[in-house]
Chain A
Amino acid sequence: MGSPSALQLLSGLSPVQVFVHSFRRQRTLNEIAKQYGGLELLCDSVKIHNVTVDTQDGEDTLSMKDLLGWVRTNLIKERPEMFMKGETVRPGVLVLVNDCDWELSGQLDTTLEEKDVVVFISTLHGG
């Protein structure tokens, strides 16, 4: 939902939406960065990232575990501890795959398909 920049995600404020576009084997990260205009230039008003993610060599599918690794490498520029802890998301972050809690689809083992929508939400406490 909405439009977080990577920066806002890091501050724990806003949900980040990732559209998983397609997986093409053996594409390089350089090509992705080029194709999407350089994610490091994301400004505060951008919450939605349309991404194309490479699958691991020899793999045909992409799991949430793979996607998290990709997001960490390609979208998160600073303070990765505000997004991840160990190999999963940090406490207080809800992960939704197509508007469904990833607990219901197998967490890290969730298999993603083309045009899936993944949303990361940091829980709010204010009032």
Chain B
Amino acid sequence: MCPHFATWPLANRSPTEVILCHQNTQSPPTPSLSSREREQWSPTEAKASRIREELENLKFEKSEIERRISALEAQLRDIDETRTNSTTSCPPLENGDSGFGHGLSPDMIYRYSRHLLLPSIGVQGQSSLLKTSIVVVGAGGLGSPALLYLAACGVGRIGIVDHDVVELNNLHRQIIHSESYIGRSKVESAAAACRSINSTIQIVEHKEALRTSNAIGNSEELEYWNMMISMTVMLPRYDIVIDATDNAPSRYLISDCCVVLGKPLVSGAALGLEGQLTVYNYDGGPCYRCLFPSPPPTTACQRCSDSGVLGVVPGIIGCLQALEAIKVASTVGETLSRRMLLFDALSAHIRIVKIRGRSSQCEVCGENATFTQQQFQEFDYEKFTQSPLATSPLKLNLLPIEARISSKEYNERVLKGEPHILVDVRPVHHYKIISLPKSMNIPLSGLEARLPEISSALEKEEEHTGTETASDVSLYLVCRRGNDSQRAVQLLHNMGFTSAKDIIGGHESWARDVDPNFPTY
């Protein structure tokens, strides 16, 4: 799961807002056209715009109808579940004897026949799968294929945990979701996909409340506590836990919870072109804390939304997570407990290495550890790892206000024709995606060595615009979100470029406040 690939303007909004926002960026800006632009608007373009508008409306109606269908389906399921089982909402998964000496019905025999034909799985292995319950935490890049395979292979009860909504930039890797679900809960989307593959299994949806954009601080805190409480409530209902999350605090939280509850944990991770996979807290193997007693520095915790990820890489790791869970559930084969699989997509290398067993010194699962459920609930994972569970992008505030300028103000100054230089400090491959007009690209990492380029650009602008001195030419710094641009301004101030200012919020604020058609990524 990678909830933060969220380009800023779409994050922190309700699904409806996301849809509307999506429409805004897609539909032609008819009402706000200047008269000159209107003259240039050809009949063909007008027709295309009408079609686009109608398409958007139809898509919106379609997603509304789908939402109502799934809500009604969920209601019906609840009624069915309470009818068949009035004592508990989570009945034990038992298959009675179907008359063939096992619990498999004729339909099941046909559906799972290719499993039954495998001597190592057979009736026994398949029956175990049907009686097993597995919870997948994170319905993103890893969770997508894991959930699809687990549903297809007949795992009796599957829980899906995620607080996030589907966004367009998820779809290249989160293959369980489709375009029609953009803006809607990932859990709903994943559950619908699982049900469409296999309607005979139970799918349990664990949706976190969506954040509202007007109360970010409080709702983040609430989300955190919801997660803590819900983990101890929801995880006991499952036999196996799959960690398909995307951040360090969640990984510690889930591992600790599995130790407290005695559940095996299939843990996968993927970033860039690499993946890692192992099974924790199972068969004498270590827990996550045995391997990583201290959290890594936050600077070592890269995110897909910053570093990128090749879609198929989490796909492969997610498939392998499903495989390990199936092996644990059916007690077939050798799991990756005490071993770790390392996958390097670029060089096509898969390496399986031997890792330590359970550590007697481990603070959570070691010999003298007394980590209780209560301690778990009181443990502050965000403080421990120095990073938030709901990993919203970092927002630095390094500069005094007079060294900063909003994207709107920058736009006004450009329109007024103010002599200036705009330096974009993002890496070159970011700059190639999209850049502001007349900006020059000097990545932050090489800025110090390339100061003469800035000096000469300032002089050139001075000559060009006829200003008296180079100091009359303004110097602005921009990046993707407005963090690196502040670091760059600090550096420039120290090197004598005292008038340098950063554009607050970078490209994201430009797209939000100045040009809604400016691409975000």
Contact = CB atoms under 8 A, between A and B. Distances in A.
Interface of A: 1-3, 11-15, 47, 81-82, 90-94, 96, 99-101, 103-104, 119, 121-127
B193 to A, nearest CB: 18
A127 B314 contact: yes
A11 to B, nearest CB: 7
B246 A127 contact: yes
A13 B344 contact: no
B353 A13 contact: no
Given A2-B274, A2-B349, A123-B269, A100 B299 contact: no
Q: How big is the B interface, by class? A: 35 or more
A11 B307 CA distance: 10
Nearest to B318: A127
A91 B292 contact: yes
Nearest to A126: B271
B276 interface: yes
Interface in B218-249: 244-248
Interface stretch (B41-49, B138-146, B413-421): B138-146
Given A12-B299, A91-B294, A127 B274 contact: no
A104 B346 contact: no
Contact of A13 (B138, B272, B314): B272
B449 interface: no
A90 B246 contact: no
Interface in B342-363: 342, 344, 346-347, 349, 351-356
Given A2-B344, A100-B353, A127-B142, A92 B274 contact: no
A127 B140 contact: yes
Interface string B125-144: 00000000000001011110
Contacts of A81: 297
A103 B296 contact: no
Interface of B: 1-2, 138, 140-143, 244-248, 251, 268-272, 274-276, 291-297, 299-304, 307, 309, 314, 317, 340, 342, 344, 346-347, 349, 351-356
A90 B349 contact: no
B100 to A, nearest CB: 41
Given A3-B346, A91-B296, A13 B356 contact: no
Contacts of A15: 274, 342, 344
Given A2-B274, A13-B274, A125-B248, A94 B300 contact: no
Contacts of B274: 2, 13-15, 124
B254 to A, nearest CB: 12
Given A103-B356, A124-B269, 9 more contacts: A2-B349, A13-B271, A13-B274, A90-B300, A92-B297, A119-B353, A124-B275, A125-B246, A125-B269
A101 B353 contact: yes
Contacts of A2: 274, 344, 346-347, 349
Given A99-B354, A104-B354, A127 B244 contact: yes
A123 B271 contact: no
Nearest to B288: A123
A100 B354 contact: yes
Going nearest first, the 6 A-B pairs with the smallest beta carbon separation are A92-B296, A126-B271, A12-B300, A2-B344, A91-B294, A124-B269
Contacts of A126: 2, 246, 269-272, 302-304, 307, 309, 314
A119 B393 CA distance: 31
A127 B269 contact: yes
B300 A99 contact: no
B271 A125 contact: yes
B300 A1 contact: no
B20 to A, nearest CB: 29
A1 to B, nearest CB: 5
